[in-house]
C-alpha cells in the first residue's frame, strides 16, 4: 500500500496516458490541475464547456490547450452529458467534474440509457494524508449517498475496498463509525455496524476486515482504545472509515481539509470508469491528486 498521496503520481506514470473528459472545464483550479497532470504525462484532456471562457482562463495561467480537443457547449448540464458520452463511446477513460453541480453531473452519469452506471450504486471515496495519522485514511461517503441503507453500506464498503486493493492494500481495515462504540437499539447506525462486522466474520463481505460500531476516536487512536478497553484488528488502525450518513462523512472530509491540514484525493467508484468529483472549493492540489488517483486506478 502506498504511504503518501504523492506516490499516486508514480503509479499513474507507470500506466498508459489516460484521456480525461472534463465537464464545464472553465475553472482556474481545474485547468491548473489538468496542466500539472498533463505536464507529467499522466493524462490528455478533452475540454467540454464554454470555449471562449476555457481559452481565456487557460491563457491566463499559461496553459497551451491548442493541441487538445475542445468542445464548445454553453449549458453546464449539456456539458456533463457530452463529457459522459465521450467516456461511454470509448473516447475517454476518466470523467471529471468542472464548474458543474454534482447533481447535474450525476444525472448524466446515472442516465439509464446513456449513462455510465455499472453496478447497483456509485459512491464517493476520499483518501486523506493527515499529519496526525500514521497512514493514508479513506472516508466514504462524503458526497453521494445521503442516508445509505444497510444494503447500500455494503456497496459503499465494496467500492472503497476496491480502491485500496488497486493501491496495493490486499486486506484493508474498515471501521464503521458513529457517535458511540456500543450497540444502541435507538441508533440504527450501530445496528448496521454490528451486522456488517458479523457478515465480514462469516465471509459474507470479503476482501477486508470490518469492525463496528466504533466512535471515530476508537477507529484512529490506539490511546483511545486502550482507555476504553477496545481490542480489535481495526481499532486505532483503520484504513477506511464508513460514516453513518453524508452529514458525518462530509463534516469529517471538510474538517480534515480546512482545519486538519490534510491532503486529499477523491474519486467516484461504481461507474464504468473512475470519476473525479471534488468540491468546487477544493484546492488545485486536491484536484490534481484526484486526477492522479483516477489515472492510477483506472
Q: Identify whether residues 24 and 66 lie together within a single domain.
A: yes
CATH number at residue 282: 3.40.50.10950
Q: Identify whether residues 94 and 158 lie together within a single domain.
A: no
Q: Identify whether residues 75 and 33 lie together within a single domain.
A: yes
pLDDT of the residue at 118: 84
pLDDT of the residue at 132: 96
- Sheet containing 240-242: give its strands across: 69-72, 43-49, 18-23, 94-97, 275-276, 263-269, 123-129, 137-140, 240-242, 173-178, 209-215
> Model's pTM, two decimal places?
0.93
What is 162-204 written as a DSSP string?
HHHHHTT-SS-EEEEEES-SS--TT-HHHHHHHHHHHHHHTTS
pLDDT of the residue at 112: 81
Q: Identify whether residues 16 and 113 lie together within a single domain.
A: yes
Average pLDDT over residues 53-80: 97
Alpha-carbon distances of 145 from 100, 246, 273, 280, rounded to whole Å: 18, 6, 18, 18
- 2 found inside a domain: no
pLDDT of the residue at 281: 79
Average pLDDT over residues 90-110: 94
pLDDT band, residue 145 (cuts 50/70/90): very high
pLDDT of the residue at 140: 98
Q: Which residues contact 74 (CB under 8 A, 6 or more apart)?
A: 50
Average pLDDT over residues 74-84: 96
Alpha-carbon span 95 to 89, nearest angstrom: 12
Q: Identify whether residues 57 and 176 lie together within a single domain.
A: no
pLDDT in tens, 215-242: 999 999 999 999 999 999 999 999 999 9
Q: Identify whether residues 155 and 49 lie together within a single domain.
A: no
Q: Identify whether residues 78 and 43 lie together within a single domain.
A: yes
Alpha-carbon span 120 to 49, nearest angstrom: 30
User: Contact, 124 vs 143, CB < 8 A?
Assistant: yes
pLDDT of the residue at 115: 85
Q: Identify whether residues 99 and 27 lie together within a single domain.
A: yes
Q: Identify whether residues 139 and 63 lie together within a single domain.
A: no
Q: Identify whether residues 135 and 64 lie together within a single domain.
A: no
Alpha-carbon span 122 to 109, nearest angstrom: 10
DSSP state of 279: -
- 278 found inside a domain: yes
- Judge whether residue 114 has pLDDT over 80: no
Average pLDDT over residues 183-203: 97
Average pLDDT over residues 257-286: 92
Alpha-carbon span 22 to 264, nearest angstrom: 20
Range of the domain at 129: 123-258
- 207 found inside a domain: yes
- 174 found inside a domain: yes
Q: Which of 46, 45, 50, 48 is nearest to 34 (CA)?
A: 45
- Judge whether residue 119 has pLDDT over 80: no
Average pLDDT over residues 202-206: 98
The residue assigned the cell 447497483 is: 120
Which residue did the predictor score with more confidence, 119 or 266?
Answer: 266
Q: What's the total number of domains in the chain?
A: 2
Amino acid at each position: 500500500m502506498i504511504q503518501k498521496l504523492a506516490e499516486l503520481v508514480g503509479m499513474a506514470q507507470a500506466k498508459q496516458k489516460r484521456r480525461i473528459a472534463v465537464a464545464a472545464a472553465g475553472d482556474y483550479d481545474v485547468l491548473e490541475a489538468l496542466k500539472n497532470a498533463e505536464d507529467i504525462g499522466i493524462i490528455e484532456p478533452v475540454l467540454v464547456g464554454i470555449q471562449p471562457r476555457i481559452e481565456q482562463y487557460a491563457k491566463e495561467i499559461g496553459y497551451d490547450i491548442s493541441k487538445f480537443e475542445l468542445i464548445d457547449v454553453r449549458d453546464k448540464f449539456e456539458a456533463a452529458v457530452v463529457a459522459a458520452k465521450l467516456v461511454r463511446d470509448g473516447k475517454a477513460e476518466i470523467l471529471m467534474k468542472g464548474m458543474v453541480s454534482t447533481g447535474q453531473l450525476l444525472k448524466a452519469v446515472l442516465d439509464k440509457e446513456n449513462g455510465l452506471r455499472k453496478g447497483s450504486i456509485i459512491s464517493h471515496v476520499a483518501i486523506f494524508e493527515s499529519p496526525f495519522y500514521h497512514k493514508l485514511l479513506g472516508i466514504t461517503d462524503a458526497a453521494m449517498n445521503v442516508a445509505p441503507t444497510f444494503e447500500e453500506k455494503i456497496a459503499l464498503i465494496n467500492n472503497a475496498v476496491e480502491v485500496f486493493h488497486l493501491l496495493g492494500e490486499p486486506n484493508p481495515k474498515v471501521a464503521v463509525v458513529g457517535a458511540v462504540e456500543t450497540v444502541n437499539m435507538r441508533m440504527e447506525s450501530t445496528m448496521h455496524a454490528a451486522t456488517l462486522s458479523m457478515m465480514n466474520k462469516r465471509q459474507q463481505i470479503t476482501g477486508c476486515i470490518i469492525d463496528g460500531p466504533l466512535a471515530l476516536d476508537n477507529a484512529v487512536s490506539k490511546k483511545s482504545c486502550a482507555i476504553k478497553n477496545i481490542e480489535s484488528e481495526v481499532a486505532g488502525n483503520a484504513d477506511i472509515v464508513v460514516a453513518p450518513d453524508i452529514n458525518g462523512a462530509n463534516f469529517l472530509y471538510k474538517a480534515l481539509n480546512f482545519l486538519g491540514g490534510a491532503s486529499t484525493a477523491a474519486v467516484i467508484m461504481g461507474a464504468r470508469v473512475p470519476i473525479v468529483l471534488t468540491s468546487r472549493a477544493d484546492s488545485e492540489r486536491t484536484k490534481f491528486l484526484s486526477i492522479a488517483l483516477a489515472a492510477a486506478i483506472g
